[in-house]
Amino acid sequence: MANPTSLSVRAAAHEIASRRLSAEAYAAAWIESIEAQEAAVGAWQYFDREQALAAARRRDREGSGGPLYGISIAVKDLIDTVDMPTGYGSPIYQGSRPAADASCVALARASGAVVIGKTVTTEFAAFFPGKTANPHNLAHTPGGSSSGSAAAVAAGMAPVAFGTQTAGSIIRPAAYCGVVGYKPSFGLVARAGVKALADSLDTIGCMARSVDDTAFFIGVLTDRRDLREVSAPLAPRFGLCRTPMWDEAEPATRAALDRARAALLAAGARVDDVAVPEEQRGLAEAQDRIMRFEMARSLAWERVERADLLSPMLAQILDYGMTIGTGEYDAARAAVAKARQRLDSFFGECAAIIVPSAPGEAPEGLNSTGSPIFSRMWTALGVPCITLPAGRGDRGLPVGIQLVGRIGDDVRLMEAAMVAERALAEAA
């Protein structure tokens, strides 16, 4: 058999269940890649070779399992794991051992998955970066806050990794690292056991190498067979919206959207220009106010009792969050709710709307994770989003396009994403 890391998640699970591939051999292939690259990339907050192999051997001894049987996965260090430290990217919780797995981890393990380690998160999934570098150019950020998850998948250290998004923490790093990143509809994946940052925004998703892998993984976790077995339709209708933040799109992102449109048209799809609705203007700013207000409350204990262990960046954000009045917060929530009520007319007959994933290529330097500006409003609205690799910019780094769908209609979004993924591949 060829290197097992070349298999899709679905195919690898089938091979392991059929006993043509052992869970141990599958894990060992990913571990070999980790050991070859981790010193440079720094994607892992916790990794223990023997612990990972022992977990894979237990799967082999069990002899049967669920749809993720034997699949190695990475878990963002914002998400609790009972058998590995969970530090939330902060010295406050360094070495902390949760009493239980987070719901999403427990469900993944119950479906047969093998957790091989914890990936780096920014501090509490906010803006202060960790140690991770972009595998495509180590002098550039991988994005955040799901920095390690995006880098691990991009570098071939894991086939799929959990991420979380409160502003742009799945979509942006996935785009910067050239992988697929999927933020489901708000609340689709249970959040129990995940450190809260902003309760009305926090969403669990994943990064992987293909649309099928992301849909299969989340479909299994949520027990949604239509998502797990999603396939590409013949010719869905797409919209293309430049969004209220278009002035912040760099040439690389503008070119990526042009490429996507051309590829889809060549594949026989319809792509309509969609105007920016008036109710969507100002949503990025509304999301920022909501997030900062809720952050200051979610991290109240840390701000009050462990302020000396917070980064100056986070401390300043939390202090600012406490200055946002409830009236301002409620007004921001109301603006989001108004825009959410009008989403049907925004989508019209489109299966998905194409928008930017990030301003451009990953910025140089590791002191910042880049801007989440092109994800803020979609996260606030609670719509499902997916970013797809769409070529490279002038500096040779990946650039993505983002597709957004209707709330709760993740299946239709993933169908459209499969069409776009195939069209981009054929046009490359």
Residue 115 has φ and ψ, to the nearest 5°, of -80, 120
How far from 219 is each of 86, 213, 233, CA to CA, in Å? 25, 10, 18
Using DSSP bridges, classify how beta strands 385-392 and 352-356 pair: parallel, antiparallel or unpaired. unpaired
Question: Left, alpha or beta for 301 (phi > 0: left; psi -120 to 50: alpha)?
Answer: alpha
**What does R_g of the chain's alpha carbons equal in angstroms?**
20
What are the DSSP E strand ranges found in 89-222? Answer: 114-119, 160-165, 180-183, 203-208
Residues 266 and 376: their CA atoms lie apart, in Å, by 31
- Looking at residue 215, its pLDDT comes to 98
pLDDT in tens, the chain (428 residues): 679 999 999 999 999 999 999 999 999 999 999 999 999 999 999 999 999 999 999 999 998 789 999 999 999 999 999 999 999 999 999 999 999 999 999 999 999 999 999 999 999 999 999 999 999 999 999 999 999 999 999 999 999 999 999 999 999 999 999 999 999 999 999 999 999 999 999 999 999 999 999 999 999 999 999 999 999 988 899 999 999 999 999 999 999 999 999 999 999 999 999 999 999 999 999 999 999 999 999 999 999 999 999 999 999 999 999 999 999 999 999 999 999 999 999 999 999 999 999 999 999 999 999 999 999 999 999 999 999 999 999 999 999 999 999 999 999 999 999 999 999 999 98
Among residues 83, 217, 75, 90, which one has the least CA distance to residue 148?
75
How far from 128 is each of 82, 104, 112, 144, 150, CA to CA, in Å? 26, 25, 34, 9, 17
- Looking at residue 64, its pLDDT comes to 76
Strand order in the sheet with 385-392: 44-47, 114-119, 72-76, 160-165, 203-208, 180-183, 385-392, 398-404, 352-356, 237-240, 270-273
Residue 160: how many other CB atoms lie within 10 Å: 27
- Looking at residue 65, its pLDDT comes to 83
- Looking at residue 214, its pLDDT comes to 98
* Continuous H helices in 300-401: 300-305, 312-323, 326-341, 343-347, 376-381
- 60 half-sphere exposure, CB direction, 13 A CA radius: 16
- Looking at residue 157, its pLDDT comes to 98
- The helix (run of H) or strand (run of E) holding residue 2 is none
CATH 3.90.1300.10 domain residues, the chain: 4-228
Q: Does domain 4-228 have CATH number 3.30.70.1150?
A: no
Q: Evaluate whether 255 touches 395 at the Cβ level (below 8 Å).
A: no
Q: Evaluate whether 78 touches 124 at the Cβ level (below 8 Å).
A: yes
Residues 385 and 406: their CA atoms lie apart, in Å, by 9
Question: Left, alpha or beta for 362 (phi > 0: left; psi -120 to 50: alpha)?
Answer: beta
- Looking at residue 428, its pLDDT comes to 87
Residue 64: how many other CB atoms lie within 10 Å: 8
Q: Evaluate whether 140 touches 364 at the Cβ level (below 8 Å).
A: yes
- Looking at residue 63, its pLDDT comes to 80
Catalytic residue ranges:
76, 145, 169
Residue 186 has φ and ψ, to the nearest 5°, of -55, 130
Residue 304: how many other CB atoms lie within 10 Å: 9
Tokens 């709760």, residue located: 408
What are the DSSP E strand ranges found in 225-298? Answer: 237-240, 270-273
Q: How far is CA 259 from the centre of its chain?
A: 23
